[in-house]
Amino acid sequence: MAEFDTIRAGVGTRAAIDEGLRAHMNKVYGTMSVGLLMTALVAWAFGSNDALLSILRDPITLSPNILGWIVMFAPLIMVFAFGAAINRLSAAGAQLFFYAFSAVMGLSISWIFAAFTGISIAQTFLVTAISFAGLSLWGYTTKKDISAWGSFLIMGLIGLIVASIVNIFLGSPAIHFAISILGVLIFAGLTAYDTQKIKTDYIAHAHAMDSEWLAKSAIMGALNLYLDFINLFMFLLQFLGNRE
């Protein structure tokens, strides 16, 4: 009888963890989706209006002015700041920071609505959404441990950031093409890796049932997947986008 009770308790615990994991992943994807919607609205509002776009860039050449340069690098600075401050923020504060970040990212990429046709942007978004969904689903369901990918992907990401910054000043089409290919591959890998990490982190901490940690973990997971989606979209746009 005692053995049966132990087994039943174990089954009950696993069921509770599975239910909690589903709710956690729904929170992650829901928060990420709101962030993407906010980014899209801000980007469209500025990018489709020459008067607003001129605050950040020349509407004709799309060259950034001083404020444009600041906005361009602001999301990168905010990501590092968020990682450093996450433990000191409340869950509500972390969520507010994420939505503020999403709005700033919209400003940063608003130029695409002046550079590419609306149809090609919509088509690229659809391709990105389908690709992201498949990669994230694979990362969630695979039995293969892909945690070892992390170090290689992060090193590749650092190299990608450095190369992108250098090529802002060099303006080399060949380097730009190589960066775009590597960017698609790196963020495709990160989508699967980050999804699995969100899942394994939840399972590792599920028994503690720390509601504050779970809330902030969901927001951090949403941020990681949001960045994977946005960057995958931007790199695919270099191949699929039609210029105005």
Give pLDDT tens digits for 157-180. Answer: 999 989 988 888 888 888 888 999
What's residue 4's pLDDT? Answer: 42
**101-114 pLDDT, tens digit each:** 999 999 999 999 99
69, 139 contact by CB (below 8 A)? no
What's residue 9's pLDDT? Answer: 44
Cα distances from 74 to residues 93, 142, 233, in angstroms, run 19, 35, 19
Among residues 172, 176, 165, the alpha carbon closest in space to that of 235 is found at 176
Determine phi and psi for 72, rounding to 5 degrees.
Answer: -65, -40
What's residue 46's pLDDT? Answer: 93
User: Domains of the chain: which residue ranges?
Assistant: 2-240
Q: Is the pLDDT of residue 6 over 50?
A: no
Top pLDDT among 59 and 117 is at 117
What's residue 13's pLDDT? Answer: 57
Amino acid at 239: F
Q: Is the pLDDT of residue 149 over 50?
A: yes
The Cα–Cα gap between 20 and 4 comes to 24
Q: Is the pLDDT of residue 47 over 80?
A: yes
Q: What are the DSSP calls for 142-197, one per residue?
A: --S--TTHHHHHHHHHHHHHHHHHHHHHH--HHHHHHHHHHHHHHHHHHHHHHHHH
The terminus-to-terminus CA distance of the chain in angstroms comes to 73
Q: Which helix (H) or strand (E) holds 201?
A: helix 173-205
Rounded to an integer, the average pLDDT of 143-159 is 90
Q: Is the pLDDT of residue 7 over 60?
A: no
102, 72 contact by CB (below 8 A)? no
Q: Is the pLDDT of residue 15 over 80?
A: no
Helix ranges (DSSP H) in 57-148: 66-85, 91-108, 112-115, 118-141
What's residue 187's pLDDT? Answer: 95
